Chain A
């Protein structure tokens, strides 16, 4: 990371200014960041349009859900562009599979609905932090700007919605009023064309807002790091260093000395003929020291010091500001002030002090209350979610197309005034029917057979009959089931029963006998099987 290449002025900014910076970046790099967001998303969109022909409504939901992935590419590109690298859409796209894999599961599940998603994304995607480390880092980052980041999400969600509405309204404006289109019917219809149009609008709204969202979150992140790591100060220092390196080159006092030293040493060694070696060396040393002294006198150290002292003693460092306001004054502090204070004010201060001491346990109690209340709210929220899930369980089940458990309604004991409890039906129905038939109790015999059949239909086959159903309607209910033999049998039995009951006409004995044997076959066997 070369801070000298930063493309913006790294000064301290508040959250809104940071978001402004992000929007400026998005405008500056609009096309590349828009394209890197849109191209992979559009590819998936096109693929899904073919795959999900029957469930087109799922399309925008899927694209929307995968937004944390799409957002990574503009972020990646922005992070590079910020340090002066060239924008390269193709290169970023080539890296996309690798980028998408980073922390894929959490991003798409429990972190999907985080309101500070764009602010947190750089920590995941750029720093590559995970788990505990990531949360620690986020805790530090969130001390500032997290509020602005949440508002950024809220506002842009609305902007996205308004854009969608705007597209719809624009389309509506292009339709001549003479056509008299029923908007309600159109919106509620599941016409494929309307669905495609609606999906496209949603997609376009998402694609247009996404670069702003991502880069604004990134700008928040960068500004937070400027705050934390003091980039602004570092860059100032760098500038200072650069500034001071230039004059040093032009004033070569010490460098000249460094050159002179070996030079004089060499000269001394070379010309060692007249004087002794030691004297020569001593002469040369004094010569150097003299030179240094000379240089020191030249250097403006003393002068600088004096200048510094002057500045420190100047007006700027002795500015006196008057600030007025009310403050609590502790007893015993500033005796002189206490003396001038009236008695009642001192007493009042004591009361306030006393109140504060007794308030501290209260604060604990209320703190406990607050925690309890928070807990209660969470319970309410969880209960509400559970209730909603329960309330719309059928819709959810059908949405997930899980095979719903067949509802077993409470089975009635009495139907159409007939006792159809299992206990009320004799053990061997056919034997009893035949016996009664031979005794001449025809109506009772056939009545029993009909009653036993109804009982079995309700208890064994779980058919549901309403009290208002006639015999013929019961037959219709049975024939709607897929058991052909059963519906045939019920139809024939009902016919015989109707003739006896309503036409007062006895069926043939053989017919009753046949009905009995078939009853055994149909219901007896099935009962054994169960």
Chain B
């Protein structure tokens, strides 16, 4: 943590953008990110892609929609990430009777001094895990909207700033759909990435089982008190560094062309909006930083296209009947859009 603070000067220099100092800042930032990545990967075995995408979201200051069946370590991932930067972590289990005030907090009349006191809800944290977000009705889901977009909560007309960095991890179960309320499109658009968690490979599962069964309790983080790698302020710095990564106009154009292609495809009823273009470029920058590069390659854009766009498109009915998924359609689309040259 201290290292990074010492590097603050370098990071400031990076924002001033003299090439050598920027390169150095990126190198150091990348080192820290690799450490974080390794630590999370050590806990969450066999989900390297998921960890990378979550880190991209963190660097882009975006929110993540996690989809996967229960028991693949979604909570573990968020807790491990919070520990890496010493951030606060809170978890809300979404249920049909959960009220907006249960998330945001509420004003309470104090009899003793005859005043209203504001009791802050669990949303006042760094990392918020909204578990099974589609179990609650739209009203409760919408309570998160303001928090996600404005990074503030209004209680009794008083706007309260959330602590930075603030990041929402919402999870969904793709199998059990009965009694759920699908997220409205406006809310879906607020999520920078939709990350799919799948079963680990055989080797990874073997390793995981060996590790967990050695511990006295089924929790890899239990009793493990490792120091945070960076501080919450460092996360903000990393986000700033990510935003300074060079992106060529051609690559920018490629990102926009990719997003626009979803609107022209006959396989998609509703294509991704301009927010997707912005998200794609932000995510591509973060991905470049994660790779330790000072500039964005078309590959970064391509790598982020699926997580950025898969929840922002609605497939045509015949495609769904054919058994196509958003991923398969987007894959085909990626092949048809010319990659930039020169």
Contacts and interface: CB of A to CB of B under 8 A. Distances in A.
A354 interface: no
A470 B250 CA distance: 12
B298 A471 contact: yes
Interface in B323-340: 334-340
B296 interface: yes
Interface residues of A, number: 21
Interface stretch (A168-176, A256-264, A496-504): A496-504
A501 B335 CA distance: 22
B296 A468 contact: no
Given A468-B336, A504-B248, A416 B341 contact: yes
Interface residues of B, number: 23
Nearest to A469: B339
Contacts of B49: none
Contacts of A499: 295
B297 A472 contact: yes
Given A417-B342, A418-B342, A501-B248, A471 B336 contact: no
A273 to B, nearest CB: 132
A13 to B, nearest CB: 61
6 contacts: A416-B341, A466-B335, A468-B335, A471-B339, A501-B250, A502-B246
Contacts of A443: 342
A85 interface: no
A443 B342 CA distance: 8
Contacts of A447: 342
Nearest to B340: A416
A473 B19 CA distance: 28
A503 B298 contact: no
B302 interface: yes
A410 interface: no
Given A466-B335, A470-B302, A502 B341 contact: no
Interface of A: 416-418, 443, 447, 450, 466-473, 498-499, 501-505
B334 A502 contact: no
B11 interface: no
B251 interface: yes
B259 to A, nearest CB: 15
Contacts of A417: 338, 341-342
B296 A502 contact: yes
B189 interface: no
Contacts of A470: 297-299, 302, 339
B294 interface: yes
Given A470-B298, A503-B248, 18 more contacts: A416-B338, A418-B341, A467-B335, A467-B339, A468-B334, A468-B339, A470-B339, A471-B297, A471-B298, A471-B299, A471-B339, A471-B341, A472-B298, A502-B251, A502-B295, A502-B296, A503-B246, A505-B19
Contacts of B299: 470-473
Contacts of B19: 505
A443 B19 CA distance: 19
A417 B337 CA distance: 11
A443 B297 CA distance: 17
Contacts of B339: 416, 467-471, 473
Nearest to A474: B339
Interface in B285-342: 293-299, 302, 334-342
Interface string B220-256: 0000000000000000000000000011101100000
A444 to B, nearest CB: 9
Contacts of B302: 470
Given A416-B341, A417-B342, A470-B302, A503 B294 contact: yes
Contacts of B296: 502
Contacts of A450: 341
Interface string B169-213: 000000000000000000000000000000000000000000000
Interface in B75-120: none
Nearest to B251: A502
Contacts of A466: 335
A23 B338 CA distance: 73
